[in-house]
């Protein structure tokens, strides 16, 4: 029985989020430039998106570039943005064919113009699709997002548009960039580090965490299936006792 066949399709996580880490170390380990790791990382993105659609996952969020990643050397940022534009142009036909809807979260105003334009074109074109939703987190950080939400909520209170007593968890969620997207059930981080790196801090409250030493360029279909099988062995109690479930 293959790994894929072992997955219980009626108990899939609705939303899988991935911190795609380890491109640079993977390349360096074989004496190559970090950008080679990013190129191979794009191949992993394609394979994992295909695996997600073949399983019928509803949401897949990929941490592609963090707010903190703007601190990297200019040449690496340019290489990453170039790859993003190229990948979007290359992959859009397959996204259409596979009924994938693309979305993006993050401070997109900071993206270079060509990256922003190609991203928006792909989002518009795929918006009619009804299969898996792939969310790219780009120039994203959770603290940026929460700070922005607090500002907007405070403004509405000052404008007498919202009462303090009306600010519920649901209202806070509505002001995050992930509005309308269910919280991730499973968070995967590749590359061996066990940290969250400013990713979806609010939304991950009850996610199951899965860490693997595999570098992102090595993470392909089978690794996604393994992570989902691991998830399916866990008991999610949400504060209750086992007996209550
Ligand atoms: C992840 O790989 C890709 C991005 C953060 C853009 P890294 O570039 O962080 O690779 P390592 O962690 O240095 O190996
Ligand atoms: C996290 O990876 C961000 C992305 C995968 C886009 P980093 O490589 O930037 O994380 P840290 O800084 O090592 O925690
Ligand atoms: Mg890294």
Q: Is 69 a catalytic site residue?
A: yes
**Marked catalytic residue, from 21, 23, 98, 185:** 21
Q: How many domains does the chain have?
A: 1
Task: Indicate the top mutation candidate among 191, 197, 199, 211 to test ligand 1's pocket, ranked by most ligand atoms within 8 A of CB.
Answer: 191
Q: Is the pTM of this model over 0.85?
A: yes
Q: Is residue 215 part of a domain?
A: yes
The range of the structural domain enclosing residue 113 comes to 10-141+184-234
Asked whether the beta carbons of 184 and 204 are under 8 A apart, the reply is yes
Q: According to the 3-state scheme, what is the secondary structure of the chain?
A: CCHHHHCCHHHCCCEEEEECCCHHHHHHHCCCCHHHHHHHHHHHHHHHHHHHHHHCCCEEEEEEEEHHHHHCCHHHHHHHHHHHHHHHHHHHHHHHHCCCEEEEECCHHHCCHHHHHHHHHHHHHHCCCCCCEEEEEEEECHHHHHHHHHHHHHHHHHCCCCCHHHCCHHHHHHCCCCCCCCCCCEEEECCCCCCCCCCCCCCCCCCEEEECCCCHHHCCHHHHHHHHHHHHCCCCCCCCCHHHC
Compute the distance between CA of residue 145 and CA of residue 53 in angstroms, rounded to an integer.
Answer: 28
Q: Is residue 45 part of a domain?
A: yes
> For the segment 212-240, what is each residue's pLDDT rounded down to a tens digit?
999 999 999 999 999 999 999 999 999 99
> For the segment 139-149, what is each residue's pLDDT rounded down to a tens digit?
999 999 999 99
- pLDDT > 90: percent of the chain: 100
Q: What is the pLDDT of residue 95?
A: 98
Q: Is residue 126 part of a domain?
A: yes
Q: Is residue 151 part of a domain?
A: no
User: Is 216's C-beta closer than 6 angstroms to any atom of ligand 2?
Assistant: no
> For the segment 144-200, what is each residue's pLDDT rounded down to a tens digit?
999 999 999 999 999 999 999 999 999 999 999 999 999 999 999 999 999 999 999
Q: What is the pLDDT of residue 43?
A: 98
Q: Is residue 80 part of a domain?
A: yes
Compute the distance between CA of residue 133 and CA of residue 99 in angstroms, rounded to an integer.
Answer: 9
Q: Is residue 176 part of a domain?
A: no
> For the segment 18-50, what is each residue's pLDDT rounded down to a tens digit?
999 999 999 999 999 999 999 999 999 999 999
Q: What is the pLDDT of residue 183?
A: 98
Band of pLDDT at residue 206, cut at 50, 70 and 90: very high
Q: Which long-range contacts (CB under 8 A, 24 or more apart) does 233-241 make?
A: 234/208, 236/185, 236/206, 236/208, 238/206
Average pLDDT of the segment spanning 53-74: 98
| Residue 69, domain CATH | 3.40.1180.10
Q: What is the pLDDT of residue 24?
A: 98
Q: Which ligand is nearest to the CA of 27?
A: 1
Q: What is the pLDDT of residue 35?
A: 97
Give me the chain's average pLDDT, please. 98
Compute the distance between CA of residue 38 and CA of residue 84 in angstroms, rounded to an integer.
Answer: 10
Measured from the Cα of 24, ligand 2's closest atom is: 8
Q: Is residue 164 part of a domain?
A: no
Q: What is the pLDDT of residue 106?
A: 98
Q: Is residue 130 part of a domain?
A: yes
**Number of neighbours of residue 197 by Cβ within 10 angstroms:** 14
Asked whether the beta carbons of 48 and 60 are under 8 A apart, the reply is yes
Asked whether the beta carbons of 212 and 231 are under 8 A apart, the reply is no
């Amino acid at each position: 029985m293959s790994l894929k066949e072992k997955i219980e399709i009626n108990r899939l996580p609705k939303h899988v989020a991935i911190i795609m880490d380890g491109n640079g170390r993977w390349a360096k380990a074989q004496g190559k430039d970090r950008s080679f790791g990013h190129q191979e990382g794009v191949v992993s993105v394609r394979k994992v998106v295909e695996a997600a659609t073949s399983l019928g996952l509803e949401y897949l969020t990929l941490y592609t570039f963090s707010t903190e990643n703007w601190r990297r050397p200019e040449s690496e940022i340019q290489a990453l943005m170039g790859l993003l534009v190229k990948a979007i142009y290359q992959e859009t036909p397959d996204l259409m064919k596979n009924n994938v809807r693309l979305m993006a979260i993050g401070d997109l105003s900071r993206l270079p113009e060509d990256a922003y334009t190609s991203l928006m074109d792909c989002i518009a074109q795929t918006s009619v699709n009804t299969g898996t939703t792939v969310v790219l987190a780009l120039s994203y950080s959770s603290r940026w997002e929460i700070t922005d939400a607090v500002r907007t909520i405070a403004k509405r209170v000052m404008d007498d548009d919202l009462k303090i007593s009306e600010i519920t968890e649901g209202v806070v969620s509505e002001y995050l960039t992930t509005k309308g997207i269910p919280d991730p059930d499973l968070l995967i981080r590749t590359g061996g580090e066990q940290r969250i790196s400013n990713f979806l801090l609010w939304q991950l409250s009850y996610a199951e965490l899965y860490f693997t030493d595999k570098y992102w360029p090595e993470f392909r279909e089978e690794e996604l299936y393994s992570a989902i099988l691991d998830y399916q062995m866990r008991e999610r109690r949400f504060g209750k006792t086992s007996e209550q479930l």
